Structure 1
């Protein structure tokens, strides 16, 4: 409710629903008392305090990373963790500590996001069978609940509307459920995002992941070199597993990027996780799709990102790995086509918002058209193959990577 009271990131343009939302918030808060009221104040105070560090970094946008890091450390040192608070994106665990030296400024041309690490206490349930040695009727299952601590990273943003990221990830989660329901072995990772106030949000960090941008800064020449260094030679079982994971995730994200027309696919927004999956992040230009593209977005192809190094990692254009990628991409596209009405209805709910990606019914028509609803399955499969051909080493994708290198210093090789 707090995140939807205003139409803009700066909380200067009120939404028509604000009076209603304000009344609802007041009713809820006024109904709280005692421990419940104390908990509410501690929780909202905690993540408000942490998120505000991003806002305090704004004057440092043009400063060096060490200067930004020093400011984050200064502000993190002031935070006191109250007993029982949780990260907004992870209410299933309680924050018990903060690594106050873990704050790290993240690359952004105009904003000041940062990352921090928290010690989170969670519970897990283990089921044991008592009397199992007899395998008789007396055997009983017993649940044991145990607590464990884990370090968890989160990203905090001020001045960024996280609601479009939320919608994109909701649709990606729907894609994932559809793929799972038909037994399709592809991979998506819809991480958690929580909008906490206008222009403010908390974003989960993909665990054990490295961005292609970070690889470039570490002088990693291409993805194949990275995989060989991490998993072993191409003939090893570990490499083969990682390459299969890469192919399966590439297929799923290629379909998602095409359907939602997710743009701004520079190397800072493309990750490789610890198991070799590709994971896309930052969907502020979801459905960029729906609006007239800005001049810099026009650099990017209308399909999805499929670069030379990605194809080489799969084994080359005429390899079994690349053929598997094509087959899985086509199957993923065919799997979601019967669900077009459900997917479009979810997005249609956003038409009355002020979010920049949603500009009326024409956006819905373009979205539906990408599902090619009038085609037979065979025609749809051939259509998706043409989209893959368009994506392969698309010169517009290369031009966009060069733009990002010149404008924002993001290397692409």
Structure 2
């Protein structure tokens, strides 16, 4: 993978994180450092006190994430679920705006406080696995197991998640130019895989995902549609099944 693409993702995530912090929104993103040495080498900061969701599930065979949360966070379950929700909502927005793909459970980490952390940004913006076959069409990953950690779709926890996604989206929309700046700075003459569709296509697609032409009321309706479409999405289920059968990722 081109480490410069990891650097770009890190820079954009830092922009999102700062926007959320300045607005006092409890949306959590892991800001990690990336040092590029060349197009094929560099250093990526390790995610400390974290393990992949794949490894967690293999360590508790037959158990769901909700079951594992009850065991791992028995004395601080509410806090851990809040951390899970606030990080899931934040990364849902990053995944949507940057069109991050290959979101199997080997590329999702969980830390010792219950936060979800996404890693590996080799597929985003205008490239995806399988030669852009668009296997992952869900706006973001929101599986049944994730929903169950939030106590299901009828719970206050899930309503909190939805509220965070909506508020975070609207705040990011107000700062679209700032968030897009690292992308624009690298676009000219870049051969990064995520720019393979060309500068105009990448920037137009990004602007479209911010729903810049819609009123705030119409934008909120679109955000709700994104959430509803993502919840237990059939294509996400099938992509995870494929990863489990072919690559042994649980």
Scaled to the shorter chain, the TM-score interval is: over 0.9
How far the C-alpha of 1:200 sits from its partner, in A, is: 1.1
Tell me, in whole angstroms, the C-alpha distance in 1 between the residues paired with 2:104 and 2:226: 20
Residue 308 of structure 1: which of 140, 144, 153 is its match?
Answer: 144
Say yes or no: does 1:353 pair with 2:190: yes
Tell me, in whole angstroms, the C-alpha distance in 1 between the residues paired with 2:132 and 2:156: 36
Provide Cα deviations, 1:19-53, integer angstroms capped at 9, x if missing partner: xxxxxxxxxxxxxxxxxxxxxxxxxxxxxxxxxxx
Larger RCO of the pair (alpha carbons < 8 Å, separation 6+): 2
> C-alpha root-mean-square deviation of aligned residues, in Å?
1.5
Asked whether the equivalents of residues 15 and 178 of structure 2 are also in contact (C-alpha less than 8 Å), the reply is no
Tell me, in whole angstroms, the C-alpha distance in 2 between the residues paired with 1:405 and 1:173: 32
| Cα 1:312/1:340, change in 2 over 3 Å | same
Asked whether the equivalents of residues 138 and 236 of structure 2 are also in contact (C-alpha less than 8 Å), the reply is no
How far the C-alpha of 1:297 sits from its partner, in A, is: 5.3
Q: Which residue of 1 aligns with 2:176?
A: 340
Tell me, in whole angstroms, the C-alpha distance in 2 between the residues paired with 1:330 and 1:263: 21
Asked whether the equivalents of residues 301 and 391 of structure 1 are also in contact (C-alpha less than 8 Å), the reply is no
Q: Which runs of 5+ in 1 are unaligned?
A: 1-159
Q: Which has the larger radius of gyration?
A: 1
Q: Which residue of 1 aligns with 2:119?
A: 281
| Cα 1:316/1:243, change in 2 over 3 Å | same
Asked whether the equivalents of residues 224 and 313 of structure 1 are also in contact (C-alpha less than 8 Å), the reply is yes
How far the C-alpha of 1:296 sits from its partner, in A, is: 7.0
How far the C-alpha of 1:302 sits from its partner, in A, is: 3.9
Residue 204 of structure 2: which of 365, 381, 387 is its match?
Answer: 365
Residue 72 of structure 2: which of 212, 218, 230 is its match?
Answer: 230
Tell me, in whole angstroms, the C-alpha distance in 1 between the residues paired with 2:51 and 2:22: 30
Partner of 2:141: helix, strand, or coil?
A: coil
How far the C-alpha of 1:343 sits from its partner, in A, is: 2.4
Q: Which residue of 1 aligns with 2:36?
A: 195
Q: Which residue of 1 aligns with 2:88?
A: 250
Partner of 1:194: helix, strand, or coil?
A: strand
Using structure 2 for the length normalisation, give the TM-score.
0.93
Tell me, in whole angstroms, the C-alpha distance in 2 between the residues paired with 1:169 and 1:323: 29
How far the C-alpha of 1:405 sits from its partner, in A, is: 1.7
Structure 1 or 2: larger strand share?
Answer: 1
Q: Which residue of 2 aligns with 1:299?
A: 135
Partner of 2:194: helix, strand, or coil?
A: coil
Tell me, in whole angstroms, the C-alpha distance in 2 between the residues paired with 1:370 and 1:382: 13
How far the C-alpha of 1:292 sits from its partner, in A, is: 7.2
How far the C-alpha of 1:293 sits from its partner, in A, is: 6.5
Partner of 2:67: helix, strand, or coil?
A: helix
Q: Which residue of 1 aligns with 2:237?
A: 398
Q: Which runs of 5+ in 2 are unaligned?
A: none
Residue 219 of structure 1: which of 60, 68, 73 is its match?
Answer: 60
